[in-house]
Structure 1
Amino acid sequence: MSDFYLLYQPKMNDNVIVGLEALLRPVNAMQSVPEYLANVTNTVALDLMVMKLCLKDVEQHGIKIPVSINIHPTSLLNDYFVFSAIRQLKDHHIVLELVEHQDVDLNDKFINNVSLLKQNNIEISIDDFGKDFAHRSRLNDWRR
């Protein structure tokens, strides 16, 4: 999956950069991000690749502020992804930001994996709060 690259959008607070968000962009400039993502068959592999590329950039440029990367919520159902994230992100300021264009069952495995990541000081946030599974009524389901 070398057909994308990452751009970094600053997150601002009172005109101070307090973080960055890694934004995936297809190498093919004629292809939109939604078109690119629609063709991805293995979202876990994509999320692992984004995580790896982001970590490389953070280390290469000595970035000391939090960097958010978007991941598919279903990646949190995959043990390999979760344990890879713990191993790679434990000592970095990388935030896993759940995207909401995909349905996910907030089952016990999902909740346990979120808890495991949090126990290992890996922060999780929700992208585009309020669209799908992030409704206020469901937040308590996975905040354990």
Structure 2
Amino acid sequence: MGPVRGRAGPHRQPGARRRGRLHPRRRLGGGQPRLPRHPAGSGARGAADTRPIVASSRDLGERIAGNFVRVTGSAPSNYVGDGTGLVTREDLGGLNLSTVPKVFIECANMRDGKDAARVTSDAWRQKAAQGISDGIVNFLQP
């Protein structure tokens, strides 16, 4: 994977408007977008300030999560996000270094047998990709 600045940096290319990554994780599940944090006050020198992208990242996350659930039939995570599957994180460098709307989506809980089986299915992966794509397209449309 490499250093976080290398993984997070491509969004800084000229013309980048949004950024997303897909992560199948062992402990997190069900269409759960990670969102940038909203700093409570002014940050220390060099600290991330994601205030300019918090609202648009939340909008992007809501659209991706909604479409992911609709297309895959997977329920959002039931242990974080108060039933929405959305959770704000302040400990993910890729989100903290972003200057454009960005979300990470956890597509399955790999400790859950049903979720783990789903991600081995080509048909389910196609649905997951379609749900994510639909969310992005919906976000980009005026």
TM-score (norm 2): 0.29
Q: Which has the higher contact order (CA 8 A, sep 6+)?
A: 2
TM-score (norm 1): 0.29
Relative to its length, the structure with more strand (as a share) is 1
